[in-house]
Structure 1
Amino acid sequence: MTTYLACMGTRPEIIKMAPIYKNLQARGENVQVLHTGQHEDVAQALYTFFDMDPDYQIQLKRRLPGLSDLTAELLQGIDRVITEVKPDVVLVQGDTASAFVGAMASYYRDVPVAHIEAGLRTGQHDPFPEEKNRELIGRLAHWHFPPTAQAADNLRREGVPAQQIHEVGNTVIDAALWVKSQMDQHGAPDALPPEVQSFLRSHGASRLVLVTAHRRENWGRPIQLIASAVGILLKLHPDLTVVWPLHPNPSVRADIQSVFSTLDAASQQRLCLTDPLEYPALISLLARCHFCLTDSGGIQEEASAFHCPVLITRDSTERQELVDAGGAILVGTDPHRIVEQASALLNNPWAYRAMQVHESPFGDGHSAQRIADVLTCARNTH
């Protein structure tokens, strides 16, 4: 039996690691879960939802707000767990500090690393620091699991040996489709918070747009511009409703709320600003919304599973495959461009249907099985 240590600490990591955890466990493997504490406020609900309680947890002190302090704390904490568990393989996902430091700590202890969602690149400075995190993990990992052909090509161009690259799709599609099937079987009235349920009931005939914004590069003036564009759309389209789960950062919330405080009363009635949503609630909204406006990489992927058009409030994306497939458009944070593209989706049925991709470029719901096949086969031959 192989011992795996799944190292994760943020909401997207937990969601995308859960299908792998379940698949390896079903094969009788020993999978230990390390929660690094990066997203402490939302993590436990997700672990409970996926029946994946952590075996180890790091209590981050965060005495200083900088990335150097976070990296140092994570390195010491993850190293202690690796020393205790003595895993055969460490699993890291994506491009967070937890993933990068988990890979680095494993390398220091000579433990092979499997990188889930490898090879994503913008080729630019942003997103910061994620772009550099994933590049560095690409130099440390042994198994690379890119979700798409483009991501695999990125790794090959960087000199990663072909035999270490396994294109498998993205486990976020596995997770999203599983959640949607659970809701279809058991109903989903309780997935959404009561205030959001009430809001949607009162605007049942309206077209719903989901808005999210959390990227560090969009904090401050850019997120105010996004909010301004949403306000203009509400004024221009009386049949439009917007649900916007707000980032927990107080200054980010204040920037958004300051813009909407000047919005006319009729438009404000069709706007629902809410706290961050739990994962099933987010999937419920994605499955019913007309389109989404977001800077989130995960939502770009999840939306594609439900044929939902995406307007990306960034100037570049490491998930270019959805743009190339016609399911997403990069609109940046310029209000004029956001309003123009959103209005096209609201006014032009042909333009809307053209952005409803029928097959997600990110996967078919069987990515975790492919990853487990590679890992268990590789370990069984040693």
Structure 2
Amino acid sequence: MTQPNSPSARPILISVGTRPEIIKMAPVYAELRRRGMPVAWVHSGQHREMAESLYDFFDIRPQYELQLDRRNASLAHLNALLLERLSEVYEQARPAAVLVHGDTTSTLASAQAAFYLDLPVGHVEAGLRTFIPREPFPEEKNREITARLARWHFAPTPGAAANLAREGIAASGVHMVGNTAVDAALAGASRLVTLLASGALQLPEPLRRLQPHLAQGRLITVTAHRRENWGPGIRDIARAVARLLQADPRLAVAWPVHGNPAVADIVHAELGELAQRLEGRLCLCPPLDYPALLWCLQHSALALTDSGGIQEEGAALSRPVLVLRDTTERPELIEAGAGLIVGTDMQRIVGVVTRLLNEGDELARMRAAVNPFGDGKTSQRIADVLGKAL
């Protein structure tokens, strides 16, 4: 575990570990630094292989980094390790407050460790709910429990704030601020254009092979990783992609495949041979870094995903999103007309995608929908609240 020099003032400590958390908390870190507020960052050790490029892109240098000696893949084991190691970090850093994000295991452990040490917790992206205990699992209960430990609840939408009110969270602690994913996507897309133009950043080689197919305007970005989709769900998504590609020679697909074998083995078994035959129209690549994923979304006609983050990023970049789940804790996307829930049924996915691409008018209306997740100023509002409270 690395550690910084002793700070001159008690910092606000941002505690995250997964790729989406890093992306969504980077704008908060930048805004706190811009205001001269003491801030530190602890990386809790997950998604290590993806974190480095994100930290470079957002110019973040974590002051603390956990080395987790994981002996098995169980959530209980991970939570226990995180709770013990984060407690050690907090005792050394003596933060004025701890900021956590979302609903991962690192979110819950970070909030628990802070609560045990009587440190106030700010929960960014608070109030998301499906009201189905195991969908998604374990995220639904992680965020419910974190709400019981937090002092400041930074809700991304009025609906999320209303969920917290229904659960008895005091209104004085709930702040409707918007979603930091919008801040990150807008700033990241602008930075991406500059870096590509200057030659400071190159697209991964698999994406460069897609570029000749972009003129048709029919690129689809696909991601899928949710536990509830493992097995038949991932298989049917892959089969839907195969059917779409075989039916439309103008179509191209970028699918950054999650590294978990429960996902990757099925995707490559279903699509690996097809990818070789289609001469670059199907890109099955390892998980992309954030700039490359933004590039894919910017150039896509639509996205197919079970990811919450891509629902938000798609809306921020005016790209329609088809949600590969039976429900979403981001119903605002659907209500705003910027997305549709299609689940994992192969026939439904193929039918909806074909209709949208061929008819055009509905796709145009979805692109023109007002982003329900914010205006890119969420981090400023969070900093305002913390500045007054600390």
TM-score tier by shorter-chain length is over 0.9
Check if 1:119 corresponds to 2:127: yes
Kindly provide the CA deviation profile for residues 23-68 of structure 1, in whole angstroms up to 9, marking residues without a partner as x.
Answer: 1111111111100011111011111211111111111111021000
CA drift at 1:261: 4.3
Partner of 2:220: 209
CA drift at 1:269: 4.6
CA drift at 1:359: 2.4
Partner of 2:73: 65
2-side partners of 1:86 and 1:265: how far apart?
54
Check if 1:220 corresponds to 2:220: no
Deviates more, 1:13-22 or 1:188-197: 188-197
Candidates 170, 178, 181, aligned match of 1:169:
178
Cα 1:357–1:134 shift into 2, 3 Å: farther
Q: Counterparts of 1:344-355 in structure 2 under 5 Å?
A: 344-355=355-366
2-side partners of 1:39 and 1:310: how far apart?
25
Kindly provide the CA deviation profile for residues 71-95 of structure 1, in whole angstroms up to 9, marking residues without a partner as x.
Answer: 0000000000011111110000000
The letter for the 2-side match of 1:367 is: T
Unmatched runs of 5 consecutive residues or more in structure 1? none
1-side partners of 2:275 and 2:297: how far apart?
27
2-side partners of 1:30 and 1:41: how far apart?
28
Q: How many residues align?
A: 379
Check if 1:51 corresponds to 2:59: yes
Kindly provide the CA deviation profile for residues 209-268 of structure 1, in whole angstroms up to 9, marking residues without a partner as x.
Answer: 000011111112210100000011111212100010010123421101111246497556
Cα 1:43–1:185 shift into 2, 3 Å: closer
Percent identical among aligned pairs is: 49
Contact residue 178 and residue 373 of structure 2 kept, 8 A? yes
CA drift at 1:201: 2.4
2-side partners of 1:13 and 1:261: how far apart?
31
TM-score, length of structure 1 as denominator length: 0.96
**Pairwise CA RMSD of aligned residues?**
1.5
Contact residue 210 and residue 283 of structure 2 kept, 8 A? yes
Partner of 2:298: 287
The letter for the 2-side match of 1:5 is: L
Partner of 1:317: 328
Check if 1:257 corresponds to 2:257: no
Partner of 2:389: 378
Kindly provide the CA deviation profile for residues 76-118 of structure 1, in whole angstroms up to 9, marking residues without a partner as x.
Answer: 0000001111111000000011111100110000000000000
Contact residue 344 and residue 352 of structure 1 kept, 8 A? no
Partner of 1:89: 97
SS state of the match for residue 180, structure 1? helix
CA drift at 1:353: 1.2
2-side partners of 1:28 and 1:199: how far apart?
43
Check if 1:270 corresponds to 2:278: no
Contact residue 191 and residue 284 of structure 1 kept, 8 A? no
Deviates more, 1:9-18 or 1:48-57: 48-57
Check if 1:145 corresponds to 2:142: no
Check if 1:339 corresponds to 2:350: yes
Check if 1:362 corresponds to 2:370: no
2-side partners of 1:48 and 1:203: how far apart?
28
Contact residue 336 and residue 370 of structure 2 kept, 8 A? no
Cα 1:296–1:235 shift into 2, 3 Å: same
1-side partners of 2:338 and 2:352: how far apart?
13
Kindly provide the CA deviation profile for residues 179-204 of structure 1, in whole angstroms up to 9, marking residues without a partner as x.
Answer: 11123344357352022112222554
